[in-house]
Amino acid sequence: MDNTELLTRFNLTRHEATIYLTLLSDGDLNGYEVSKITGISRSNAYASLASLVEKGAAFIIEGETTRYTPVPVEEFCGNKIRSLQESKQELIKNIPQRREDAEGYITITGEHRIMDKMRNMISESKSRVYLSVSGNILPELLPEMQAAHQRGIKMVVITDTPFPQEGMTVHVLEKPKKQVRIIVDSTTVLTGDIDEGEFSTCLYSGKKNVVDLLKESLQNEIKVVEMMRGFEAK
């Protein structure tokens, strides 16, 4: 993902992101100079510059001609994140109480959404997490796993590569590279495949029969690991 695409995640349009990057690389500029450098029409350049000021990505330098200077990217992104965090807390405080989790089967598609769901499941765990994934996925979940462990959550991991983590139980077993399975607090599960981006699909459920089925499957995987260790010890 390039810088322009990343900046659109901070509420900038592609034109605004392009101009912001130009200000960062070329220094203080007026609207005419921005238009000439970027190839964006002068009217769109001026409109985008005004919007950048409004969105907190640039400041105006007054003079014979109005020039624009960029807000440092760390400051700009930090302000956006802080504002979102404040909005989040306000929503949590004022939003109506949510209903109980749906008892059916929820389909989650797309790699990013699946990873976000796994991170949230680990972060919201209250007692234990059983996680069965390939080693290439684990680093992306590690911050949430470590935070959960520090909260006293029991972490059991089944993966295909050595993954030493203090206080976590790790079982090494060859696994399908795309498969992910997680059980949290023996109440909710997520199972499916992380494929190519939007083609990834997982099932999320709190149904007892699904939880019990997946729990039995993971217990069988752990038994296989223990049997293999026994053979190796002979």
Same domain, 75 and 157: no
Q: Which of 61, 91, 121 is the last residue of a domain?
A: 91
In a domain, 144, yes or no: yes
Query: Does residue 221 form part of some domain?
Result: yes
Same domain, 166 and 62: no
Domain enclosing residue 23, as ranges: 3-91
Structure tokens at 135: 């080693």
**Residues 9-44 pLDDT 10s:** 999 999 999 999 999 999 999 999 999 999 999 999
Phi/psi-derived region of residue 39, left when phi > 0, alpha when psi is between -120 and 50, beta in every other case: left
Domain end position, chosen among 91, 125, 150:
91
Give the pLDDT band of residue 101 (cuts 50, 70, 90). low
Residue 46: inside a domain = yes
- The angle formed by the CA atoms of residues 157, 161 and 167, to the nearest 5 degrees, is 40
Question: Considering the domain boundaries, does residue 98 fall inside one?
Answer: no
Domain check: are 179 and 134 in the same one?
yes
Q: How far is CA 214 from the centre of its chain?
A: 25
Same domain, 132 and 186: yes
CATH number of the CATH domain containing 53: 1.10.10.10
List the one residue out of 180, 174, 146, 178 whose CA is nearest residue 161: 174
Task: State which H helix or E strand residue 202 sits in.
Answer: strand 201-205
Same domain, 133 and 45: no
Tell whether 99 is covered by a domain.
no
185 and 83 share one domain: no
pLDDT tens string 174-193: 776 788 999 999 999 999 98
Residue 104 scores a pLDDT above 80: no
Q: How far apart are CA 118 and CA 141, in angstroms?
A: 8
Whether the full predicted model's pTM is greater than 0.85, yes or no, is no
Q: Is the pLDDT of residue 96 over 70?
A: yes
Q: Three-state SS for 122?
A: helix
Same domain, 114 and 77: no
Q: In this structure, is residue 229 part of a structural domain?
A: yes
Q: Is residue 97 part of a domain?
A: no
In the chain, how many domains are there?
2
Q: What is the mean pLDDT of residues 54-63?
A: 94
Counting Cα atoms < 13 Å in the Cβ hemisphere of 222 gives 13
Q: Tell whether 133 and 198 lie within a shared domain.
A: yes
Q: Is the pLDDT of residue 148 over 80?
A: yes
- C-alpha–C-alpha distance, residues 134 and 213, integer Å: 20
- The last residue of one of the domains, among 91, 119, 142, is 91
Q: Is residue 100 part of a domain?
A: no
